[in-house]
Structure 1
Amino acid sequence: MNDADPRGLAGAVPEPPDPMEDALIAARLFLAAPSRFGGMVLRGSGPARDALVAALGERMAAEGRPWRRMPGHVDDERLLGGIDIAASLAAGRPVAQSGLVEEAAGGALVAPMAERIEDGVAGRLAQALDEGAGQTGAAPALVLLDDSTDPDESPPVSLIERLAFSCDLAASRMWQDLALPGEDTLDPGGVTPLTDKALGALAATAEALGVYSVRPLLFASETARAHAALAGRSEATEADLSAAVRLVLAPRATRLPPVEQQEQDQPEPDQPPPEQPQDDSSDPPEGGEDERSEDERQKQQDELEEMLVEAAEAAIPKDLLEQLAKGNAPRRTGGASGTGQKKKAGTRGKPLGARPGMPRGGNRLALIDTLRAAVPWQQVRRRERALEGRTDEAPILMRKEDLRIRRYEEKAPRVTIFAVDASGSAAAARLAEAKGAVELMLAQAYVTRSEVALVAFRGDNAELLLPPTRSLTRAKRALSGLPGGGGTPLALGLNAARECAESVIGKGRTASLVILTDGRANIDANGQPGRKQAGEDAEAAARAIAARGIEALVVDISPRPAREGQALADAMRGRFLALPRADAKTLQSAINAAQPGGGRRAA
């Protein structure tokens, strides 16, 4: 630790503050102006977060504001309102129902397991936030409960960008007797706008942390003023700016702030400025006082920026700080990636049993199953209506829980892409096995609805010899003239196979790669010889395949498998098979065994 580090003194590291302290400040600001700040993201499932959510709910209820909980698989009608189909069928006329967004207007909508929110629901919530921005009671604020444990998972970015505060309470130990103070009121006109110096410091801090969106800067500015208003100040001070950085900018950091560069910019203290000749008869030089004031203002600006950067670094969780120091910024995807073999469909595919649900989004009403669910309850429902004194009768008394929808299971066609190393003295054997495996897989293509593509790489290029096809004649024609020999441009072959797989995925099909190579590259991505650069380019190409989430299998059929093949499979998060004496049938069996569901191995 640097001696100038304010967080350490004589080798002693002070105990970091509990995350709940800043979370309580964020909660007070959020409760005082929900429409201004949009809401909060609360990470870290545990008693501390549960206690804070309970305290927020109690405050909302005490102030008479709605507090609603959103189901995990909410539909459009429950979220936005619409026609109650069951009630409309029973009444013989359209019956409207309100949605959660309308019910929670002026209050808050809590979303458990927010990392699983579907993109369509996230888009509708984001639209509701945008339409209600700055309008009191026009839309509810959001409280997203993030239960993800993987750093790459999070709630949808479209929602996180619209919420000012993000608090991670996984390490908090404050949950007993947790309560929020009485009602806070914020007067927007009671605090003067931030000065250019303060705004510049916030912008410089955001740039140092790798935060480039405009929304966080606007939230940080509003947070500084609101924090000053809570403290009864008419002007934001350094403490208010520091709080804004901790609450808004630090949780969004994507890189480590360069805190050591400022020492290099300081002038040498041992070099005094040259003395100016004294001349009493002449006036002092014009502009000297202005230059000293400008230097003083710049020095104060640098000190303020340095203080805010240190506050942000202190607020970043330790594990995230270590990731940023290594250059591993967390990826916020908000959804699982990958290529599934099966997907639920509403209109076509293999028929499955009907299930309860609403006929929306293309889903069809299963009329017979709906009637079958409603008929057994007719006598009970008629007695209930008679006890309630209702005389209006309907042919069938329907309720929402009676509705059934049809569902189907549609299998996406699979495309197996062979990337064959056609270089070196063993190329003839490798190509023979690849040709045999392709022909065997095409023979069962009409049964499994699978397709096959072939990429060959040798010399200084890679070529897609066989686009995805189920035509056995076309495949044999393409394979018959496949040459061999030359260098090993492994990076070019992997890139060509990945591009083919991305094209397949873009058409709604499932792609999997089968790479036949020993992993020993000697031609780089530019077609130039050199083992070191070729190995680095091949590793980068393998990591690009892993980042895309494509299933991959590396088959090493060299006489003596070495560690290069295993390292290549690890880089692309795929499986590895060493088959030094594999024939076409053995290779086909190994590929079929590796393809179902578990084709991709976790890192």
Structure 2
Amino acid sequence: MPDGSRIEGLTRPPAEVWEEAGLAAALLAVDPVGLGGAMLRARPGPARDRWLSDYRTLIGDQPAPLRMPPAIGDERLLGGLDLSATLTAGRPVHLPGLLEMAAGRGLILPMAERATAGLAARIGAAWDGPWPGYLIGLDEGASTEEAPPAALMDRMAFRPMLDGIAMAALAPSAFTPEEVTAARARLPDVTVPPDVVDALIATAAALGIPSLRAPLLAVRAARAATALSESDTAGEIEARLATQLVLAWRARQMPEQVEEDTPDDRAQDDPPPPDPDTPPQDSPETDTETPTEADIPPDLLLEAARAVLPPDLLAKLLAGNSRATSQGSTGAGEESVSLRRGRPLASRPGRLGGEARLDLIATLRAAAPWQPLRRRQTGKAGLLIRPDDFRIRRFRRTKESALIFVVDASGSSAMARLAEAKGAVELMLADAYKRREQVGLIAFRGDGAEVILPLTKSLVQAKRRLGGLPGGGGTPLASGLLMGAEMALSARRAGLTPFLAVLTDGRANIGRDGQPGRPQAMEDATAAARALRATGIPAVLIDTANRPQRSAESLSAEMGARYVALPRAGAQELSALVQNVSKDSAP
């Protein structure tokens, strides 16, 4: 029989991740549509297979979820025309889509990190409309940067983290299908007191969770936990469980620690002793009341959240990875529509010719409803196709990114700057294949700028080119900016998504014509920055001076670039900074 001890025993440390995942599966089996589903962070393996098997067992005689490919088309997803039945019957025959078929029974989405924002929007519209359901997503991303769309994650209550769990830790489920079925029957009679609701809302706010769905899902998780515990009213244990399973993984900030009152503080807060000459008064009736079971201390749920927050949450927030994760960014460039290659999109009406390819099935579906009318009009038999019926295949193609470093190689500190730039470029190249990025390097010194490393993914070539990079001389900043803009525009014409990283202190002393003179050099640099801004190429200016320079900050404003003062940039820090800023600037 289920009891509160199995729920209350969820503590960290020790990190009983499998027990937490099993509780999520049991709660989802009790109220799948209300809780929206779960997004499993796990690659194919025993832990993921066992979780899915346990969930199918827990739902008992309920229909098992259907499987949905991540690149599913709109017609298969939303429904459309049954071509063969329409041609046979001579009238339109509706073919139900996967969302309609899965209403109330759920879907399983493999490779959920590849799902598009459009797919998430279609699923959400179906759930809010005629076909409410739930989703079990399988997040198989190689890194935390590869994540499902934020709109999809927002609708799911749970996110079990199953990576790295050994088979020895895969204990049997703490609940049986009979217990889950009984809890599902009790669910409509379960109540969640207002104090519990208020506590969950306050906890979500303290964790910096902007979504209004999060506390709603937490309340529903508390109801399901109450039903599993054979109780009618949610209390502290259920609220704490909902915080751990639903709210903690959504945290956007570290909850503040609340300091306990010292004895001196409590003494100051205590009322003065009564006057012995004053007759005693009856205490108000409310003073004699004891707190109800639903009264939850405000810090209790925050402590439950702290117990399961990932230890690297603060580091991720400081590094800016939370935004990339929420968008499901992979570091690739902007997307475009292609007629030849890429991930399939829904077909669209169009004309044949050039690279356009006919989608025969979609064309036949478009023509089928009009066949009886056309036969009566023309007196001809057979299948009558008109140009308006043509449907053209389309594909989504992701462009490669081009990260271009423009490095100030002038002055006595040039060797230190160039050494860090070399390290950063090599780090970027080592990760270029996974991120589909190319990296280039431009150095400016003396009386002009020079392309040290054309756009490449070759780590061997990069090391060879970077090995003999010279430094010293004047600062022709305008020449470096113009050459960086030229390389970026060339990359854009080649179908890449360029991003510019300029490392300088912003103090130019060589003009565009190669002549010395600080006033003219700064004027030329400002004109070059404005020209770069006109191209619309995203950029960051990294101030490498020992102290932040106003000239560098002003120049970044003229460029329309983000300004970062980083006088002691290491290779690791520089590489991480450029990657995070380039993601923030992506379309």
Task: Tell me the TM-score normalised to structure 2 length.
Answer: 0.62
3-state SS of paired residue (1:82): strand
The residue that corresponds to 1:262 in the other structure is 259
The residue that corresponds to 2:435 in the other structure is none
Matching of residue 485 in structure 1 with residue 518 in structure 2: yes
Matching of residue 573 in structure 1 with residue 578 in structure 2: yes
The residue that corresponds to 1:175 in the other structure is 170
Q: Deviations over 1:98-140 (max 9, x none)?
A: 21101111201011111110111111001112225xxxxx322
The residue that corresponds to 1:99 in the other structure is 97
Match of 2:544 among 511, 519, 538: 519
Letter in 2 for 1:263: E
Q: Distance in 1 between matches of 2:154 and 2:492?
A: 47
RMSD: 5.8
Check 1:233–1:265 CA distance in 2 against 1; reply closer, same or farther (3 A cut): farther
Equivalent residues of 2:343, 2:396 under 8 A apart = no
Q: Distance in 2 between matches of 1:358 and 1:439?
A: 33
Matching of residue 334 in structure 1 with residue 334 in structure 2: no
- CA apart distance, 1:188: 4.5
Letter in 1 for 2:206: A
3-state SS of paired residue (1:202): helix
The residue that corresponds to 1:54 in the other structure is 53
Letter in 1 for 2:347: R
Matching of residue 195 in structure 1 with residue 194 in structure 2: yes
Q: Distance in 2 between matches of 1:264 and 1:166?
A: 36
- CA apart distance, 1:227: 1.3
Q: Distance in 1 between matches of 2:301 and 2:540?
A: 51
Q: Distance in 1 between matches of 2:248 and 2:408?
A: 47
Letter in 2 for 1:164: A
3-state SS of paired residue (1:255): coil
The residue that corresponds to 1:387 in the other structure is none
Check 1:343–1:484 CA distance in 2 against 1; reply closer, same or farther (3 A cut): farther
Q: Distance in 2 between matches of 1:528 and 1:153?
A: 33
Aligned pairs for 1:8-407 within 5 A: 16-45=14-43, 46-60=45-59, 62-84=60-82, 94-131=92-129, 138-173=131-166, 174-175=169-170, 180-182=176-178, 183=181, 184-196=183-195, 198-259=196-257, 261-264=258-261, 268=265, 274-279=272-277, 282-284=278-280, 304-320=297-313, 330-331=322-323, 332-336=325-329, 340=333, 343-346=336-339, 352=340, 360-361=347-348
Q: Deviations over 1:242-288 (max 9, x none)?
A: 111111111212222223x2324775467775422212xx44358x6
Equivalent residues of 1:82, 1:99 under 8 A apart = yes
Q: Distance in 2 between matches of 1:444 and 1:528?
A: 27
Check 1:229–1:484 CA distance in 2 against 1; reply closer, same or farther (3 A cut): farther
Check 1:356–1:97 CA distance in 2 against 1; reply closer, same or farther (3 A cut): farther
Q: Distance in 2 between matches of 1:149 and 1:439?
A: 33
- CA apart distance, 1:161: 1.2
Q: Distance in 2 between matches of 1:63 and 1:449?
A: 53
Equivalent residues of 2:204, 2:247 under 8 A apart = yes
The residue that corresponds to 2:442 in the other structure is none
Task: Tell me the TM-score normalised to structure 1 length.
Answer: 0.60
The residue that corresponds to 2:563 in the other structure is 541
Q: Distance in 1 between matches of 2:396 and 2:212?
A: 43
Check 1:209–1:443 CA distance in 2 against 1; reply closer, same or farther (3 A cut): closer
Q: Deviations over 1:346-375 (max 9, x none)?
A: 4xxxxx48x997861467678987789xxx
Q: Distance in 1 between matches of 2:233 and 2:531?
A: 56
Check 1:205–1:273 CA distance in 2 against 1; reply closer, same or farther (3 A cut): same
- CA apart distance, 1:55: 2.6
Structure 2, unpaired ranges of 5+: 1-10, 362-380, 413-444, 449-474, 583-587
Q: Distance in 2 between matches of 1:77 and 1:483?
A: 66
- CA apart distance, 1:80: 0.6
Q: Distance in 2 between matches of 1:518 and 1:327?
A: 18
Q: Deviations over 1:41-73 (max 9, x none)?
A: 11122322221112323455x424252100121
Q: Distance in 2 between matches of 1:224 and 1:445?
A: 53
Q: Distance in 1 between matches of 2:176 and 2:392?
A: 46
3-state SS of paired residue (1:168): coil
Check 1:278–1:149 CA distance in 2 against 1; reply closer, same or farther (3 A cut): farther
Check 1:423–1:293 CA distance in 2 against 1; reply closer, same or farther (3 A cut): farther
Check 1:411–1:117 CA distance in 2 against 1; reply closer, same or farther (3 A cut): closer
Equivalent residues of 1:419, 1:513 under 8 A apart = no
Structure 1, unpaired ranges of 5+: 1-12, 133-137, 347-351, 373-393, 463-477, 505-510, 545-561, 575-597, 599-603
Check 1:410–1:48 CA distance in 2 against 1; reply closer, same or farther (3 A cut): closer
Letter in 2 for 1:158: A
Letter in 1 for 2:134: A
Q: Distance in 1 between matches of 2:256 and 2:401?
A: 47
Equivalent residues of 1:424, 1:485 under 8 A apart = no
Q: Deviations over 1:381-436 (max 9, x none)?
A: xxxxxxxxxxxxx979x9xxxx9955689998999999797999977554385499
Check 1:129–1:358 CA distance in 2 against 1; reply closer, same or farther (3 A cut): closer
Q: Distance in 2 between matches of 1:408 and 1:163?
A: 29
Q: Distance in 1 between matches of 2:140 and 2:111?
A: 6
Q: Distance in 2 between matches of 1:212 and 1:443?
A: 38
Letter in 1 for 2:322: P
Q: Distance in 2 between matches of 1:418 and 1:329?
A: 22
Q: Distance in 2 between matches of 1:488 and 1:265?
A: 63
Q: Distance in 1 between matches of 2:236 and 2:229?
A: 13
Check 1:566–1:487 CA distance in 2 against 1; reply closer, same or farther (3 A cut): farther
Which is further off, 97-106 or 437-446? 437-446
3-state SS of paired residue (2:55): helix
3-state SS of paired residue (1:308): helix
Check 1:206–1:44 CA distance in 2 against 1; reply closer, same or farther (3 A cut): same
Q: Distance in 2 between matches of 1:219 and 1:443?
A: 47
Letter in 1 for 2:260: E
Q: Distance in 1 between matches of 2:125 and 2:227?
A: 29
Check 1:248–1:341 CA distance in 2 against 1; reply closer, same or farther (3 A cut): closer
Which is further off, 314-323 or 34-43? 314-323
Q: Deviations over 1:429-461 (max 9, x none)?
A: 543854995899799999969999999999989
